[in-house]
Structure 1
């Protein structure tokens, strides 16, 4: 029998959305403590399969490194879980007794989450924990290139969550994944918010849905090595970060901008840590392997090791090479190395001083307009502050590996697998996405002042001239006259009303 997968996917999307809407109404009655108990059991259940899921996702996507995906799965099940403990997202989340104010956390409702193929399992676990913690229903649209591993992870999550009281329908996924079905999920009236991680091809459709969009992309995030930096440490950080999971971490460096006076030292330090600086011919061959003549990325180049990429491009690299580096001068539309490089490959720029480096970083950040992270290696606090003030980016990381600093491993940023790209207008936030991004806050304000007499006009907090005090008395007198006239009119209206009867 011939099956129209588009129609089937659309029908599934409608059913899932309607069921999720009804299920979330039940979930909205849960206390924070009940939600926390479900989070804990889900994290425990997935942690038992963290390594198997890492192996499966690597085999399915042919992308990244098993040990690094295992690390990310464990990171979500431990570090993220620990951060969620004690956080209040629903019910009373804040009180200010002195000002008689209160904040109430309210779930947004139904979240549609698009999972990537670069970090399919860890991102899916993370999104599920955030949604449960904040009392939201979530419907996943798995990336077609990672659907098996995402589904297996979700089956584990759903079984554990429902066994501990989560209403059926609160955690679901699209079985038949098509673009039409995913668009139906995003456009459905029951959907309150779209959460996208690394699926740029669906960004315009998400924006067109009219729903709030949280978008976590990658982009062309550079690292700047300034002359006062600890060169040896900066080189170790950059190589460690860019080779983690073969360069596909969301905040990984895509290029390096170096202060000219320390360029020779930086080149040597990078080489000592496994970087191979390519010749012009090698750079050309690698670019042809990664991108076609129209600038579109070729399949099979994402998340591969440096040795595999060099071999496929047709050139030799020394044993122990972990990263490939291309010397560049300009940021141009037709230069592949001005693009995001989802592999252990870096573009290398040299600038005369930090001010020229500042401009180069801005060029790189704006080139693809969805970069969210910039790294600076420097010992000069004034330069660091100037970079923080001027860069069009969601987060600035200082003296740390970008992959780990952005995720909140080596910094105190919220531990996250989705890093917002709001600085370029791609979403509603540039935060490391947390459960607080999946709620809205209901404000409660108690009355503390009366709207009559002097209180309505403001208190006399300082000495004023006799003329000013006279004006205040006159205004107060006029206000009293208006109030008296208002009462007379109301009484008259009441009398006329009785006469009409």
Structure 2
């Protein structure tokens, strides 16, 4: 079991790795990131199946898509971008030098476990950060296995020992201690509202996101057949485990019947009033979502609610009259159950979408199916979300898998959603930039900085983190770091290296005494 003192060891080891990795140049980092992304891609199918088996949630084929998108997909999206080398702006007479955050504590969810591990680890490695993964307890096995696999590949490709680590036995007190520890430089939290609030209350910098509750408006100008297919596909994707999935469908009355018929042809089942009441009673008890439905198949949910549907039913559509907080079907459901209401016109549709977001999901995302740019603009301007997907399923639209938004498993909700970021999480969020600013007077000469970089490719592997000789997990220290004369050579700075090793050991012991 991972104890708080042992977790302190992980952070100390991560700091060791982060300090070394912060000096790597772009070529060395690229080699490491490419190796890790390729390995993650190669194991995507295995981990997709293991995630479903462990959590009981989602669809393996869809998790495979997410795992691939968060491995080579991330690599391809940022190909050609440089988060390592200094940026020289001769016109503004400023040189920007990227500095990694240091140690990233990555909290990952049960809904998208492996894809989020992939995503956060690769972003951390791209920006020369060390990362400690803290998985959700219900997905701890597949998450830990994925993280350890990435760690082994990263070290084999030249990264420092300890650059990627994982908490094997996550628990609330342990994660709280890690979030508050001064050795954690930034917390990146993906999960429920409680997790995100705890991250922001930890006393350390945090990047967290709010919950989703996505309204989708279909107006009279939309391609009804295409909208129906996209909505059903999106709602069925991984059984709605992405927080970007559509939650409430708002349809103009003039096309509502045609839209329902088209969705039925795509595998949706439109519930009558009695079935809707039974479904709502099963899904929401005492005003709270029954978590048994999260990520489960539509046919299974229907059966538990006493509703007969065909085994091939992909989505349950539950009509209701008014978007109010007391209507539970207007809340986030994280399952292939879609609330639906109709409106007389787009103005009322926009007001209904605003009401959905007031209930939950402020700052998150919304979708619209329309060919009217004025309506689309009004929708985006008036609904308080920071990403609006147009004529695409929102599960893969706002997450960047089927749009040109940055592909991400962490969706920033901005100030309106009480988040520190308003974008999809990207590499630049894990960097600080030191700026060399020259006198703006043209008479003061600014020399050329072209080609100058303070970073380098390590000439030799970074020494492993110093470990106690009786550490049972890693073997005796003499076996792991051979003495001089046993196949190991040291450079001229051996005294400085030894002094640093001693200082780190003393510091670690001091931290343990404090605890």
TM-score by length of 2: 0.83
Runs (4+) of structure 1 exceeding 4 A deviation are: none
**Residue 40 of structure 1 corresponds to which residue in structure 2?**
34
Contact 1:251/1:403 (<8 A) preserved: yes
Instruction: Please give the per-residue CA displacement for 1:142-187, whole angstroms capped at 9, x wherever unaligned.
Output: 1000000001101110110111121122211112311011011110
Structure 2, unaligned runs of 5 or more: 445-515
- Does residue 362 (structure 1) correspond to residue 362 (structure 2)? The answer is no
**Residue 303 of structure 2 corresponds to which residue in structure 1?**
311
- Residue 29 of structure 1 and its aligned partner are, at CA, apart by 0.5
- Residue 368 of structure 1 and its aligned partner are, at CA, apart by 1.7
**Residue 90 of structure 1 corresponds to which residue in structure 2?**
84
- Does residue 394 (structure 1) correspond to residue 386 (structure 2)? The answer is yes
Q: Mean Cα displacement is larger for which, 23-32 or 438-447? A: 438-447
CA distance in 2, matches of 1:237, 1:423: 30
Secondary structure at the residue paired with 1:300?
A: helix
**Residue 474 of structure 1 corresponds to which residue in structure 2?**
none
1:378 to 337, 346, 370: 370
**Residue 335 of structure 2 corresponds to which residue in structure 1?**
343
CA distance in 1, matches of 2:382, 2:126: 35
CA distance in 2, matches of 1:88, 1:12: 35
The structure with the largest alpha-carbon Rg is 1
CA distance in 2, matches of 1:116, 1:197: 6
- Residue 445 of structure 1 and its aligned partner are, at CA, apart by 2.2
- Residue 423 of structure 1 and its aligned partner are, at CA, apart by 4.6
Q: CA separation of 1:24/1:225 partners in 2, compared to 1, >3 Å: closer, same or farther?
A: same
Q: Mean Cα displacement is larger for which, 377-386 or 332-341? A: 332-341
Matches within 5 A, 1:261-276: 261-276=254-269
- Residue 218 of structure 1 and its aligned partner are, at CA, apart by 4.1
- Residue 23 of structure 1 and its aligned partner are, at CA, apart by 1.9
CA distance in 1, matches of 2:75, 2:65: 14
**Residue 140 of structure 1 corresponds to which residue in structure 2?**
133
CA distance in 2, matches of 1:411, 1:256: 20
Contact 1:225/1:376 (<8 A) preserved: yes
Greater share of helix: 1
Contact 1:32/1:133 (<8 A) preserved: no
CA distance in 1, matches of 2:206, 2:214: 21
- Does residue 418 (structure 1) correspond to residue 389 (structure 2)? The answer is no
Q: CA separation of 1:232/1:450 partners in 2, compared to 1, >3 Å: closer, same or farther?
A: closer
Contact 1:394/1:423 (<8 A) preserved: no
Give the aligned CA root-mean-square deviation in angstroms: 1.8
CA distance in 1, matches of 2:3, 2:386: 35
Q: Mean Cα displacement is larger for which, 96-105 or 322-331? A: 96-105
CA distance in 1, matches of 2:434, 2:383: 33
Matches within 5 A, 1:123-162: 123-162=116-155
1:71 to 65, 72, 84: 65
Secondary structure at the residue paired with 2:292?
A: coil
CA distance in 2, matches of 1:371, 1:413: 16
- Residue 269 of structure 1 and its aligned partner are, at CA, apart by 1.5
Matches within 5 A, 1:184-199: 184-199=177-192
- Residue 371 of structure 1 and its aligned partner are, at CA, apart by 5.4
CA distance in 1, matches of 2:440, 2:418: 41
**Residue 118 of structure 1 corresponds to which residue in structure 2?**
111
1:326 to 283, 299, 318: 318
- Residue 254 of structure 1 and its aligned partner are, at CA, apart by 0.7
CA distance in 1, matches of 2:148, 2:384: 40
Secondary structure at the residue paired with 1:441?
A: strand
Instruction: Please give the per-residue CA displacement for 1:200-244, whole angstroms capped at 9, x wherever unaligned.
Output: 331221111133322245421111111111111111110010000
Structure 1, unaligned runs of 5 or more: 453-501
Matches within 5 A, 1:220-299: 220-293=213-286, 295-299=287-291
Secondary structure at the residue paired with 1:254?
A: strand
Instruction: Please give the per-residue CA displacement for 1:59-110, whole angstroms capped at 9, x wherever unaligned.
Output: 0000001111111112222221111322111231x33222322322211111
CA distance in 2, matches of 1:152, 1:435: 24
Instruction: Please give the per-residue CA displacement for 1:2-27, whole angstroms capped at 9, x wherever unaligned.
Output: xxx6xx53222222222212221111
CA distance in 2, matches of 1:241, 1:305: 14
Q: CA separation of 1:126/1:450 partners in 2, compared to 1, >3 Å: closer, same or farther?
A: closer
Secondary structure at the residue paired with 2:407?
A: coil
**Residue 461 of structure 1 corresponds to which residue in structure 2?**
none
**Residue 430 of structure 1 corresponds to which residue in structure 2?**
422
- Residue 397 of structure 1 and its aligned partner are, at CA, apart by 1.0
**Residue 18 of structure 1 corresponds to which residue in structure 2?**
12
**Residue 486 of structure 1 corresponds to which residue in structure 2?**
none
CA distance in 2, matches of 1:35, 1:450: 36
